[in-house]
Structure 1
Amino acid sequence: MDMESMERNGNKRIFQRLGGGPSSTSSYSRPKVCHFWLAGRCTKNPCSYLHSDPSDSSSTSMAAPPKRIHQNLTYRRNPNPNPNGHSSNWGRGQGGKEKVCNFWMAGKKCAYGEKCKYLHSWSVGDEISLLTRLEGHQKAITGIALPSGSDKLYSGSKDGSVRVWDCQSGQCATVVNMGAEVGCLISEGPWVLVGIPNSIKVWNTQTVTEMSLSGPAGQVYAMAASNGMLFAGTQDGNILVWRFSPAGNCFEPAASLKGHSLAVVSLVVGANRLYSSSMDNTIKVSQHVTFVIVFLSLLDQLLFER
């Protein structure tokens, strides 16, 4: 076969791969897109197949058919991958949906590392940024709270201190020595509640009221507040309940819930039930808390009406 024939036949084969040929005059044949490029794994340069959306009129000199909407595509591929078939800048912070790396989500090591075309985070963009670091505690921080109506952030630590941070400057305004490890710290309205061994310290940030709640045996590891009720999980496995008295502007003992054999480390109130988790490897649901909350709320209402 002479050189002219080889060139002609070779060009014909390539032309037919791209959808050309005599049949294209009667019915349009869509150019074939590289499957490896769609999967982000094509290593051929040049490749015989398209590395772009065939609906784009710039990808072929032939008359293009009406564009179709690819509803199954969740992101756009980079039409110009680098020679090793992996683009390091595709899709980062630009329009369209982003895809998170499956290996990163599964906690496995991604072979591409920082060069992976998929995200190694749950979000991307400039909307989330670090404002400042609040440094000062010497041991683990066990609770933070932002009381209602206050511009101060409270943090408690195992170093035995509660720090008060100015939310505008990020500077520590006050350091309160609790004299013992802080097991937890929460806020409810203007109140800041700090759990320490055998006691709960309570501050009102608006009236500067201070009080101590006695009753816990050992460290207070968890607290939760709802409907004027305060729940505290203690080291001995009990859950102590206080109710807030508007008349006396104080917390009064209401109940003691038993059931866990070891320390209660987490509390959640929801759907008129109390959920507690413990170091005894159990989660317990206290349904009768509904009755306690409703009964005491009605009692407060009756006393107030009198």
Structure 2
Amino acid sequence: MGVITTTRRIERFGRTTTPTCKYWVAGRCNRNPCRFSHSLPTSPSNVYYNPNTTYIHSKKPTICAPKPLHKPANHAPKAVVSLEKPTKCQAETMSVEKPIKCEQKDVLIEKTAIVEDLATVAKAPEKKSLNICKYWMTDNCVHGDRCSDLHSWFYGDGFSTLAKLHEHKKVVTGIALPSGSDKLYSGSTDGTVREWDCNTGRCVNTINLDSEVTSLISEGPWVFAGVKDAVKAWNIQTGAYVTLDGPKGQVLSLNYGNDILLAGAEDGVIYAWRGNPDPKAESPFELVATLSGHTKPVVCLAIGCYKMLYSGSMDHSIKVWDLGTLDCTMTLNGHSDTVSSLICWEDYLLSSSSDCTVNVWVCTEEGTLKVAYTHTEENGVLGLYGMTDADAKPILFCSCKDNSVRMYELPTFLERGRLFTRQEVRSFEIGPGGLLFTGDGTGLLNVWKWLEEPKVPSS
């Protein structure tokens, strides 16, 4: 079987016209003058157009039909040209090589960009990017529906924006939704914690802490805010307000588990308080331990199964602590930059980092943890959050430094959608009925609605 190039095909049929510019066909040619033609070519009269890009050069079928050619597994589709006369199989059949058998009469022509289906190129719509249009964000995009970027605050099915709560002046660093309460709390580096009415979306109270709030959680009736050199706590039922001293530097992370309040501080130490059952005590919480081991600030804390505490630090390491004894049992080294977030899901530990990776850790037979899978993002990862969808499929929310939150279906990491904000999302909270709350670097608190009915995973 003979193989010839497009140029030889042009010479054989006497076509001397200049090839059509494919960029002109797509409406994107910016050359003047252009060495290619700005007009569609005229097909030869003996070519019968086939939408599958197979061209047959014969006036009628031959007596001896050639065997069909199988498409190569790793190549683009080929254009097949039959050059025989409309007679029975004879030696006068045109071919680059003399055929040995009747089945070898076909000549295979390599299809290049010059002979591609220009009509298909002209009709193909330009692929939409998965980035939000920065001009649309400021109401200045002139392309409208023709814009290649997204004109929406989300990508994917089943999302809507319910409200935008913009009272904070700086980064929203924490969101808390106490169980049994109709109030939402948000903390910011502007030094305030704001209380929002979930029914009206209005800010009903502002608590001035005179210090940057860098973490915020709730447990039962208590709301805890991490500030410099302390943790502020108040009871939303009784109105009691206390200050928990001990940490050195900014308190960057908070968590509560096994009846212990844990705070990761800028000095690399984790501080632990237990509730004080004595009603006459000066404080309802008592400092019971300090966990030392990290050499740089503790950025994130997670509590998982088997009563274990996991801490991530700017020293690139993850430490595992026994909550019963408060001893460090192992150190995990799987990231090359700050460990920004940790989440425990059933028997798995997921960690994210500024090195643009998300690691999935599994327990080995020896009782240690190892990385079973690494997912890579284009930008650094700021936080991980999890839930299950209506079909009980695990969904991972991944906040990235490109001002987006990506949704992945686990364990495949198949992308389900994205949420977009004006600046990086630094806080996230899941509410009932498919509600999502995100806080970004502008101080905006976004309320989203996912039309599916999710469930918060237990860990």
User: What TM-score, normalized to structure 1?
Assistant: 0.58
TM-aligned CA deviation for residue 144 of structure 1: 1.3
Question: Do 1:87 and 1:115's aligned partners in 2 also have CA atoms closer than 8 Å?
Answer: no
The one-character-per-residue Cα deviations of 1:25-76 (angstroms, maximum 9, x if unpaired) are: x9xx89x9x959xxxx996355xxxxxxxxxxxxxxxxxxxxxxxxxxxxxx
Kindly report which structure 2 residues correspond to 1:1-306, keeping only aligned pairs within 5 A, or say none. 10=45, 13-14=48-49, 17=55, 22=61, 44=117, 46=119, 84-88=122-126, 114-115=147-148, 123-125=155-157, 127-245=158-276, 248=279, 250-271=284-305, 272-279=307-314, 281-292=315-326
- SS where residue 244 of structure 2 aligns? strand
Q: 1:22 to 1:230 in 2, by over 3 A?
A: same
Q: Using the alignment, how far apart are the partners of 1:231 and 1:162 within structure 2?
A: 20
Aligned length: 221
Match in the other structure for 1:77? none
Point out where structure 2 has 5 or more consecutive residues left out of the alignment. 1-43, 79-112, 132-145, 328-459
Superposition RMSD in Å: 4.1
Q: Using the alignment, how far apart are the partners of 2:207 and 2:153 within structure 1?
A: 37
User: What TM-score, normalized to structure 2?
Assistant: 0.41
Q: 1:35 to 1:187 in 2, by over 3 A?
A: farther
Question: Do 1:202 and 1:212's aligned partners in 2 also have CA atoms closer than 8 Å?
Answer: yes
Q: 1:121 to 1:163 in 2, by over 3 A?
A: closer
Highest relative contact order (Cα 8 Å, sep 6+), 1 or 2?
A: 2
TM-aligned CA deviation for residue 179 of structure 1: 1.6
The one-character-per-residue Cα deviations of 1:76-129 (angstroms, maximum 9, x if unpaired) are: xxxxx6x624225x9x9xxxxxxx97xx7xxxxxxxx9448x9x998423x212
Q: 1:274 to 1:43 in 2, by over 3 A?
A: same
Q: Using the alignment, how far apart are the partners of 2:153 and 2:191 within structure 1?
A: 35
TM-aligned CA deviation for residue 23 of structure 1: 7.8
Point out where structure 1 has 5 or more consecutive residues left out of the alignment. 1-8, 47-80, 93-99, 105-112, 294-306
Structure (1 or 2) with the greater strand fraction: 2
TM-aligned CA deviation for residue 14 of structure 1: 4.8
Question: Do 1:146 and 1:152's aligned partners in 2 also have CA atoms closer than 8 Å?
Answer: yes
TM-aligned CA deviation for residue 206 of structure 1: 2.8
Q: 1:130 to 1:187 in 2, by over 3 A?
A: same
Q: Using the alignment, how far apart are the partners of 2:219 and 2:316 within structure 1?
A: 27
- SS where residue 154 of structure 1 aligns? strand
TM-aligned CA deviation for residue 265 of structure 1: 1.9
Structure (1 or 2) with the greater helix fraction: 1
Q: 1:205 to 1:114 in 2, by over 3 A?
A: same
Match in the other structure for 1:76? none
